Chain A
Amino acid sequence: MTNHLGDIQNSKAIIIFGANPAVNHPVGFKHILKAKERNNAILIVIDPRFTKTAAKADLYANIRQGTDIPFMYGMLHLIFKHGWHDPEFIKNRVFGMDHVIEEAKKWTPEKVEDVTGVSADLLYKITKAYATNKPGTLLWAMGLTQHTIGSSNTRMAPILQLALGNMGKFGGGCNILRGHDNVQGATDMCCLSHTLPGYYGLSEGSWKYFAHNWGVDFNWLQNRFADKKWMHTKGFSLAKWWQGVLQEEKIYSSSPIRALWIQGNGITSIAQQVKVQQALDKLDLIVIAEPFVNEAAVLTNKKDNVYILPTASQFECEGSVTATNRSAQWRSKVVDPLYESKTDEEILFLFAKQFGFYDELVRGMMMGVKDGKAVKVKNSFKWPEDATREIARIIKTIGLTGWTPERLKKHQQNWHMFDEVTLKGIGPMKGEYYGLPWPCWTETHPGSPVLYNIDIPVNEGGMGFRARFGVEYKGENLLAGDRATIKNAKVKGGYPELTKDNIEKVLGIKLSSKEKEIMGKNWKVDLSGLIAKYALKAGIAPYGNAKARAYVWTFPDKIPLHREPLHTPRFDLAKKYPTYSDKKNHYRVDTKYISIQQKDYSKEFPIMLVTGRLVMYSGAGVIERNSKYLVQLSPEMYADINPELAYKYNIKDGDMIWIHSPEGAKIKVKARFTYSVAPDRIFLPFHFAGVMQGKDLSENYPEGLVPYAIGESANTVTNYGYDIVTQIPETKAGLVRIEKA
């Protein structure tokens, strides 16, 4: 989120694409309801299903899946046509908007109606309501990201906000709702395969920075890899790791995957469950370290070499977590780990000891900074405080320097002294924002509740857009214009990111020779903290002040372009808006695009598939399906189906039906009549597991551990398709065929 949940109360208009906060963020949704109540905010919901969120909306558009880009271009078409955009903001703070304006001209309301299924009238109503009520905030979640064009979707939404001048404003911004506790923290620490923690890349420079901070030899680190080239190569992704085992598509790796370690991930939350099952069967070893039985152990037919390590829950351990709005929160232990379970860190320490790298793993927690260098300062460490200190010391990119355990604990102890709308502290917490939302540049910085806000000084959380991509592109200036000067800054307008070489020139200061000696090469690796110190003194953020890029020259699509889903009900439009060429070596696996889309599936599989969450379950439902009270509310897997569609297939409410996917997978579920889905689509909740293509897998659970509810997984029938940049699976667009069981 660029802003935070409480800040939504400042909005005058709220537009939600592909998110259902009333179900997925019930407590956060209160702020949206309060914006409506107190601020007369207009709530607009764009979703392929009439959700609980839509039930509270003032305007609702029932969009065809995977057509968010045409919808937003349609909005931009009207915005530019009626002059509802913010020319001053665009001129000073946006790069390449002219390309977007050109593309938007093509998307007339009539054309948008044909592609998205939303009437031209409604598009106008929604656009006018959203563009003329400012500030407006834009929310999204998986409905926008889980597409082959997910990465373009997530660029399109900010472009819409930039055109309206809604970025960096209280009550504005792009508010992306994270789905679970500490997902933001997991992302920041990169529990992924394509960067180092804190979004540091995989280059040698980044690795060396980390090696220095961990107190380990770079060559030692390098020798842990089969070959040094793998050190700089993205790994397999969660979405397609199974091809690393099965190798049905070509893989690029030093070895096929032979072992799988699962710690905190519901295996049925990813697409292609049939393939996942085959891959699990073929692995040499599966280890699961979780509080409940992960369905990986159940899905597989393996009888040997599957280990389940009982792991502590969040109530049995301590440490910091990061909320959806970039705020940190300290969490205390409620009880010691029950029975024989161990905490996550203890399991990993034991693992490291067994494999002979325990000392290297924990050394970073015993280090501190002296004269701009990380050095060992003590001989033991205290978990989790020293882990938090290690994070604060290393991660400069997103500004975690100020997140010391002492400050985070103080915030936890003084919850009641923060205001929910502004996050501002009162009393002893005055001058700080709750949870020190990052970037929190120094140990005295208050945190930044609203990103890219130039209307407040940097030492109160203000900043421009990051100057991440140089100062110019093909002769055009990438830095912010003069009118985009950060409040109280000594530097007027835009400026580049600070480095040792340019800091004297940008700030007009003179460094002493000692300072020059201990200063890091640039603000991202400056352990001395001098760059941040001098930047804040001059009232600017260390990372520069540039224009936001609407035009990205390094992406497959320079500006977001509409491309039909791989399995589209409108094959005629797939010819007009085709997907990408097949991509080689995409996270180590060849990935298909056009070779799938060129076939017309819409005749044989005429029904669109929508998946999503239920309020009583989360993720794969591994935890919640073990609660008898939660299960009582939704005891079995089902498909939401419109009576009109059902009667075509002679299906009655409560009948069992088969759902078939184009990949040949099928699931057997109960039909539930509802008008919340249109007659051309069905909805499946994705929290169930334990039944596979009609076969009950109860006997695969350890004795006495079958959850109260098991059922078919929706992801058995979600279709093939992966984002062109991130490889997230296309679970939010796809086709199926249904029949009465």
Chain B
Amino acid sequence: MYEYARMKFYCDENRCIECNACTIACAEAHELPVGINRRKVITLNEGIEGKEFSTSIACMHCTDAPCSQVCPVECFYIREDGIVLHDKDKCIGCGYCLYACPFGAPQFPKDGAFGIRGKMDKCTLCAGGPLPTNSIEEFELYGQNRIAEGKVPMCAAVCSTNALIVGDADSVAEIIRARNAAKGKGTSSPYGWDIAYK
């Protein structure tokens, strides 16, 4: 039976070195305002031997997305491939989604006289939004739509150590499985998937 793909992120913390290439590439690609961090690199226990590690976090595009469940105006929609998107024209900036999200993904611009929140912004997995695909309006509100162009999301495309992987959940699992299976087996120079994601 044909299974629909479900798009997922995975970050291998054995490989993440907190270089922040993902954060910067995301901000540059979507021309985000300074202060909006669709993707962040988190480091825990900095400077403590044996305990320091880093990982890259953005919207994880949950299967049963809590943000979508709490939104009072139902601005969220989940694509068939599992990418969680929202409609900024419906969003009222209430911030409920931020409280519901376990990853701190929703971002709010905080300017204006009383520091009121603007419309929510978050990682789109480089899949744009509800406006016409690759239109200027879509770019201005949601950033690039790389998925529509058949491209890998920007963050994973630039990851310097290939710690951050994105794609159909089965493919992501396959890459990680192959990586784990190769552990300790010695250096080799295979081709195919491995060239791009090793």
Other A-B pairs, 15, CB within 8 Å; known A9-B187, A37-B179: A23-B17, A26-B160, A29-B161, A30-B15, A37-B14, A37-B183, A38-B187, A50-B52, A52-B54, A420-B189, A421-B187, A421-B189, A628-B34, A630-B24, A676-B46
**Residues of chain B having any CB pair with chain A under 8 Å:** 14-15, 17-21, 23-24, 27-28, 34-35, 46-49, 52-54, 160-162, 179, 182-189, 198
Contact A34–B47 (Cβ < 8 Å)? no
Chain A residues closer than 8 Å to B20, beta-carbon distance: 615-616, 633
Contact A56–B23 (Cβ < 8 Å)? no
Indicate if A241 sits at the interface (CB-CB under 8 A).
Answer: no
Docked CA distance A183–B161 (Å): 23
12 pairs, CB–CB < 8 Å, chain A vs chain B = A23-B17, A23-B19, A27-B160, A33-B14, A33-B161, A39-B187, A52-B54, A60-B49, A628-B34, A629-B34, A633-B24, A674-B47
Chain A residues closer than 8 Å to B179, beta-carbon distance: 37
Indicate if A55 sits at the interface (CB-CB under 8 A).
Answer: yes
Closest residue of A by beta carbon distance from B23: A633
The answer to whether residues A676 and B18 also contact, given A10-B187, A419-B189, A630-B24 and a CB cut-off of 8 A, is no
Contact A55–B53 (Cβ < 8 Å)? yes
User: Would you list which residues of chain A between 438 and 495 have a CB under 8 Å from chain B?
Assistant: none
Q: Which 3 A-B pairs rank lowest in CB-CB distance, beginning with the nearest?
A: A676-B47, A675-B47, A26-B160
* Among B19, B23, B46, contact of A26 (Cβ-Cβ < 8 Å): B19
Chain B residues closer than 8 Å to A39, beta-carbon distance: 184, 186-187
Chain B residues closer than 8 Å to A628, beta-carbon distance: 34
Contact A677–B47 (Cβ < 8 Å)? yes
Fill in one digit per residue for A35-56: 1 if any B CB lies within 8 Å of its CB, else 0.
1011110000000001010111
Contact size class for A?
35 or more
Chain B residues closer than 8 Å to A50, beta-carbon distance: 47-49, 52
Contact B17–A26 (Cβ < 8 Å)? yes
The answer to whether residues A675 and B46 also contact, given A33-B161, A39-B187 and a CB cut-off of 8 A, is yes
Chain A residues closer than 8 Å to B27, beta-carbon distance: 629, 632
Docked CA distance A223–B49 (Å): 61
Chain B residues closer than 8 Å to A37, beta-carbon distance: 14, 179, 182-183
Chain B residues closer than 8 Å to A38, beta-carbon distance: 182-188
Contact A34–B198 (Cβ < 8 Å)? yes
Taking the closest CB of chain B, its distance from the CB of A271, in whole angstroms, is 26
Chain A residues closer than 8 Å to B46, beta-carbon distance: 674-676
Contact A56–B28 (Cβ < 8 Å)? no
Taking the closest CB of chain B, its distance from the CB of A281, in whole angstroms, is 36
Closest residue of A by beta carbon distance from B28: A629
Contact A26–B189 (Cβ < 8 Å)? no
Chain A residues closer than 8 Å to B160, beta-carbon distance: 26-27, 29-30
Fill in one digit per residue for A58-95: 1 if any B CB lies within 8 Å of its CB, else 0.
00100000000000000000000000000000000000
A26, A29, A35: residue with the most chain B Cβ atoms closer than 10 Å:
A26
Docked CA distance A246–B146 (Å): 57
Chain B residues closer than 8 Å to A55, beta-carbon distance: 17, 52-54
Docked CA distance A417–B15 (Å): 26
Docked CA distance A33–B46 (Å): 19
Docked CA distance A37–B178 (Å): 12
Indicate if A726 sits at the interface (CB-CB under 8 A).
Answer: no
Docked CA distance A9–B188 (Å): 9
Contact A26–B15 (Cβ < 8 Å)? no
User: Would you list which residues of chain A between 402 and 452 have a CB under 8 Å from chain B?
Assistant: 419-422
Indicate if A22 sits at the interface (CB-CB under 8 A).
Answer: yes
Fill in one digit per residue for A614-650: 1 if any B CB lies within 8 Å of its CB, else 0.
0110000000000011101100000000000000000
